[in-house]
A and B are shown apart, each in its own frame.
Chain A
């Protein structure tokens, strides 16, 4: 198999808040293969979004990526830095975290791009949709023409209102070609009458249409990797189906890879080749879709799958996981498997930090059951309390 496009190794991110240190992402490791859709699934607060933002280097204060590597396959960059920063280069890969800040920023757009759940807040309400997309095109155009100069203007383009709103593009900055390209992109993502739609403002778009426009904006830089954080969560199911079809088509046409983040196991199943399951900041199980859905080893993965009502077979009573998602405050995190307090198979062995076990080179899991059978004699005593 070809090398992956992205290798994430032991990535950790914490937020330093008034209550203390919150370990939102804890030693996360996964690959994204060339042209695949890799899914990350988990419940709210499990660290999915922070993982995405950490990968594309968008963590802001009070958060900080505290460790780990983000290896990105890019022969040109590897060549450029082999001499000056050998520690940041490994074959054709560069560790994005060890590249100079300016270079890191310049990767947003042509290397990494991102779409979000809430399209409305990633557009500036007072600028037409076409101009905002054209701006993204323009930035890439100029960056390509003059790789070092325009970088500062590319900062975070298309990556959220917080950054976008800090500079208002004006007409002078957007060339006609960029505007034409914006219309083309709108057409490519299935917006009818793109010439007129380009002149409209975000509030004139429906939810589904704005989601398409955001995808168009993310495509402006022809990214290698598209990070999609809950891209269909706010949409109705028939519109969700449209957007999922669109993402798959674009992925095939453009040959990009997608890191797909969602809480919806059905979306994962439809879209992804491989998947990582997150719980309390960790990827607790990871592997090909079939392995995860049909032979899950981690009791959390099993519990998650058992909690979803089956639309095609209503007979079973749901088997929820008892209790709630834990706090990620470092001071409250146990020196044990983070799932131990809710796990029906918790044993005395689980009262230590659990490493990631590799099952067969493709499927890995953070659970002692990878190595041993459950034995009631070793069971931990648990107070089982509903939802508490």
Chain B
């Protein structure tokens, strides 16, 4: 294998909230949002690496941080063998030529007061290019270059003096690509470049990106949430969840034999435009993505994972186990309210059996049997006097999962998956035993 063009190691980017002087004065604790929390990957020259995941999982932050458009909290990025975060101003200037970015929103990413020609030529002007314009003035040279680029992306050079608002979404995205190409970069971060476009126009832009890569030998980091697009355009794919890469592999392999339960769920969820899709009922993941302010301990995906691993000594079927874990998560986020249970079960607050039955009906979404059922009932019994903590403790003693105590690492194979179900991920950092760290659901 050749040396990678880009190499990302343990990249971290935390945003801090309540971090102002006033917050400090008021003694508010600064809160970190772990947008990107230790991710690593390489990109080979000429390849397209896809970065997929749901909104807020850290895709754009990754793209912007590795380009040094945002300051990293930790980790290292090497581009062409050089550490990007330690570059001096000259090296950085060269890096800013070699590595470009195209943003999602074709409506806000172009300055409305500049002509298309000026927008495309702007990076050239900033870098005081060209050094040798030959027999033209620099300005003429840049204008000619902008015409050439405009035609290269499928627009007409006669449109050079028009303004962004005169163009459609697809055309503006082509303009964004032309601008990114102006400095003849090696590497482009494409951040959701077709997400805002209608499918017919999206297909035009995807074909364009494909052609440009072939002709110019470009390397792409392609950020997207649309898995069909990713399958179509990427050589390898990294799947992100809550600031972590959970799986990374060659595209066909990842789509045909996904390893990580999250990847499986994502692929399962996508609605296919085909008659076979009709009436298909997806086993949808339950719940929302937890907040990155307070991510779950151990495996970040454990609050939604249908395969979350029961303790060795517990005899329980998977569905029941997931249901018990959902109950535990509900207790943590405060979704279990004993007063409401009483109100329905017995407003006089006498019939404890009715209380437990109602609690089960509300919060345990599976049929439980044997020991499991009695432990859960015992635990719910503590809710009778509102002792949520004791309920949690009882449940934890029996049901604590290795997925909540140990963080799965990403193995060093060609198709790693960060999940305890795979040997590749055996190198495990021991994490705090969970005192049921809150996993706030949706704020």
Contact of A314 among B54, B155, B231, B285 (CB under 8 A): B231
Chain B CB within 10 Å, residue with most, of A44, A236, A239: A236
Query: B228 contacts which chain A residues (CB < 8 A)?
Result: 308-311
Choose, from A66-74, A188-196, A346-354, the stretch at the interface. A188-196
Contact of B288 among A239, A265, A386 (CB under 8 A): A239
Q: A293-B275, A307-B202, A321-B200 are in contact. Are A193 and B225 (CB under 8 A)?
A: no
Q: By the criterion CB–CB under 8 Å, are A289 and B170 in contact?
A: no
Q: By the criterion CB–CB under 8 Å, are B266 and A238 in contact?
A: yes
For the complex, give the distance between the alpha carbons of A270 and B210 in Å. 30
Choose, from B8-16, B335-343, B421-429, the stretch at the interface. B335-343
Q: By the criterion CB–CB under 8 Å, are A237 and B278 in contact?
A: no
For the complex, give the distance between the alpha carbons of A307 and B202 in Å. 8
Q: By the criterion CB–CB under 8 Å, are A193 and B340 in contact?
A: yes
A193 to B, closest residue via Cβ:
B335
Task: Tell me, yes or no, whether B277 is within 8 Å of chain A by CB.
Answer: yes
Task: Tell me, yes or no, whether A264 is within 8 Å of chain B by CB.
Answer: yes
Contact of B204 among A44, A206, A312, A386 (CB under 8 A): A386
For the complex, give the distance between the alpha carbons of A44 and B442 in Å. 30
Task: Tell me, yes or no, whether B174 is within 8 Å of chain A by CB.
Answer: yes
Task: Tell me, yes or no, whether B273 is within 8 Å of chain A by CB.
Answer: yes
Q: By the criterion CB–CB under 8 Å, are A237 and B200 in contact?
A: no
Q: By the criterion CB–CB under 8 Å, are B266 and A270 in contact?
A: no
Task: Tell me, yes or no, whether A121 is within 8 Å of chain B by CB.
Answer: no
Chain A CB within 10 Å, residue with most, of B280, B282, B337: B282
Task: Tell me, yes or no, whether A324 is within 8 Å of chain B by CB.
Answer: yes
Q: A386-B155, A386-B204 are in contact. Are A237 and B266 (CB under 8 A)?
A: yes
Q: A237-B266, A265-B273, A289-B278 are in contact. Are A309 and B231 (CB under 8 A)?
A: yes
Chain B CB within 10 Å, residue with most, of A270, A307, A321, A385: A270
Task: Tell me, yes or no, whether B201 is within 8 Å of chain A by CB.
Answer: yes
Chain B CB within 10 Å, residue with most, of A44, A237, A289, A303: A237
For the complex, give the distance between the alpha carbons of A248 and B231 in Å. 28
Task: Tell me, yes or no, whether A294 is within 8 Å of chain B by CB.
Answer: yes
Query: A318 contacts which chain B residues (CB < 8 A)?
Result: 203, 206-207, 232
Task: Tell me, yes or no, whether A334 is within 8 Å of chain B by CB.
Answer: no
Contact of B273 among A240, A269, A325 (CB under 8 A): A269
Q: A241-B282, A245-B282 are in contact. Are A270 and B271 (CB under 8 A)?
A: yes
B363 to A, closest residue via Cβ:
A192
Q: By the criterion CB–CB under 8 Å, are B231 and A206 in contact?
A: no
Task: Tell me, yes or no, whether B154 is within 8 Å of chain A by CB.
Answer: yes
Task: Tell me, yes or no, whether B374 is within 8 Å of chain A by CB.
Answer: no
Task: Tell me, yes or no, whether A20 is within 8 Å of chain B by CB.
Answer: no
B255 to A, closest residue via Cβ:
A311
Contact of B337 among A195, A248, A303 (CB under 8 A): A195
Query: B343 contacts which chain A residues (CB < 8 A)?
Result: 195
Task: Tell me, yes or no, whether B198 is within 8 Å of chain A by CB.
Answer: yes
A323 to B, closest residue via Cβ:
B200
Task: Tell me, yes or no, whether A263 is within 8 Å of chain B by CB.
Answer: yes
Chain B stretch 426-443: residues in CB contact (< 8 A) with chain A: 441-443
Query: A270 contacts which chain B residues (CB < 8 A)?
Result: 271-272, 277-280
Q: By the criterion CB–CB under 8 Å, are B207 and A320 in contact?
A: yes
Task: Tell me, yes or no, whether A388 is within 8 Å of chain B by CB.
Answer: yes
For the complex, give the distance between the alpha carbons of A268 and B337 in Å. 39
Query: A43 contacts which chain B residues (CB < 8 A)?
Result: 198-200
Query: A304 contacts which chain B residues (CB < 8 A)?
Result: 199-200
Q: By the criterion CB–CB under 8 Å, are B207 and A245 in contact?
A: no
Chain A stretch 285-344: residues in CB contact (< 8 A) with chain B: 289-290, 293-294, 303-312, 314, 317-322, 324-325
Task: Tell me, yes or no, whether A204 is within 8 Å of chain B by CB.
Answer: yes
For the complex, give the distance between the alpha carbons of A336 and B204 in Å. 25
Q: By the criterion CB–CB under 8 Å, are A388 and B273 in contact?
A: no
Q: By the criterion CB–CB under 8 Å, are A236 and B225 in contact?
A: yes
Q: A236-B54, A317-B207, A325-B198 are in contact. Are A266 and B272 (CB under 8 A)?
A: yes
Number of A-B contacts (CB under 8 A): 173
Q: By the criterion CB–CB under 8 Å, are A320 and B204 in contact?
A: yes
Q: A193-B340, A205-B442 are in contact. Are A387 and B174 (CB under 8 A)?
A: yes
Q: By the criterion CB–CB under 8 Å, are A209 and B340 in contact?
A: no
Q: By the criterion CB–CB under 8 Å, are B275 and A311 in contact?
A: no
- Min distance, Cβ A244 to any Cβ of chain B, angstroms: 7
Query: B275 contacts which chain A residues (CB < 8 A)?
Result: 269, 289-290, 293-294
Task: Tell me, yes or no, whether A242 is within 8 Å of chain B by CB.
Answer: yes
Q: By the criterion CB–CB under 8 Å, are A206 and B270 in contact?
A: no
Chain B stretch 199-246: residues in CB contact (< 8 A) with chain A: 199-204, 206-207, 210, 225, 227-229, 231-233
Query: B281 contacts which chain A residues (CB < 8 A)?
Result: 245, 248
Query: A293 contacts which chain B residues (CB < 8 A)?
Result: 273-275
Task: Tell me, yes or no, whether A28 is within 8 Å of chain B by CB.
Answer: no
For the complex, give the distance between the alpha carbons of A6 and B321 in Å. 46
Task: Tell me, yes or no, whether B251 is within 8 Å of chain A by CB.
Answer: yes
Q: By the criterion CB–CB under 8 Å, are B154 and A44 in contact?
A: no
Q: By the criterion CB–CB under 8 Å, are B269 and A237 in contact?
A: yes
- Min distance, Cβ A53 to any Cβ of chain B, angstroms: 20
Task: Tell me, yes or no, whether B410 is within 8 Å of chain A by CB.
Answer: no
Query: A272 contacts which chain B residues (CB < 8 A)?
Result: 278
Q: By the criterion CB–CB under 8 Å, are B443 and A245 in contact?
A: no
For the complex, give the distance between the alpha carbons of A244 and B265 in Å. 15
A273 to B, closest residue via Cβ:
B278
Q: By the criterion CB–CB under 8 Å, are B288 and A305 in contact?
A: no
Q: By the criterion CB–CB under 8 Å, are A387 and B171 in contact?
A: yes
For the complex, give the distance between the alpha carbons of A245 and B282 in Å. 7
For the complex, give the distance between the alpha carbons of A265 and B266 in Å. 18
- Min distance, Cβ A38 to any Cβ of chain B, angstroms: 14
- Min distance, Cβ B436 to any Cβ of chain A, angstroms: 17
Q: By the criterion CB–CB under 8 Å, are B155 and A388 in contact?
A: yes
Q: By the criterion CB–CB under 8 Å, are A311 and B200 in contact?
A: no
For the complex, give the distance between the alpha carbons of A92 and B356 in Å. 50
Task: Tell me, yes or no, whether A281 is within 8 Å of chain B by CB.
Answer: no
Return the CB mask of A224-247 against B: 1 if under 8 Å, else 0.
Answer: 000000000000111111101100
- Min distance, Cβ B324 to any Cβ of chain A, angstroms: 15
Chain A stretch 76-98: residues in CB contact (< 8 A) with chain B: none
Q: By the criterion CB–CB under 8 Å, are A206 and B442 in contact?
A: yes
Query: B336 contacts which chain A residues (CB < 8 A)?
Result: 193
For the complex, give the distance between the alpha carbons of A236 and B266 in Å. 10
- Min distance, Cβ B386 to any Cβ of chain A, angstroms: 14
Task: Tell me, yes or no, whether B378 is within 8 Å of chain A by CB.
Answer: no
Query: B154 contacts which chain A residues (CB < 8 A)?
Result: 386-387
Task: Tell me, yes or no, whether B318 is within 8 Å of chain A by CB.
Answer: no
Q: What are 17 inter-chain pairs, A to B, with CB distance below 8 A?
A: A204-B442, A208-B288, A244-B271, A245-B281, A266-B272, A266-B277, A267-B271, A268-B273, A269-B277, A289-B275, A293-B275, A308-B203, A309-B228, A311-B231, A314-B252, A318-B232, A324-B171
Closest 6 CB pairs of A and B: A266-B271, A206-B442, A320-B203, A265-B273, A386-B154, A309-B232
Q: Interface on B for A, CB 8 Å cutoff?
A: 54-55, 154-156, 168, 170-171, 174, 198-204, 206-207, 210, 225, 227-229, 231-233, 251-252, 255, 265-275, 277-282, 284-286, 288-289, 330, 334-337, 340, 343, 441-443
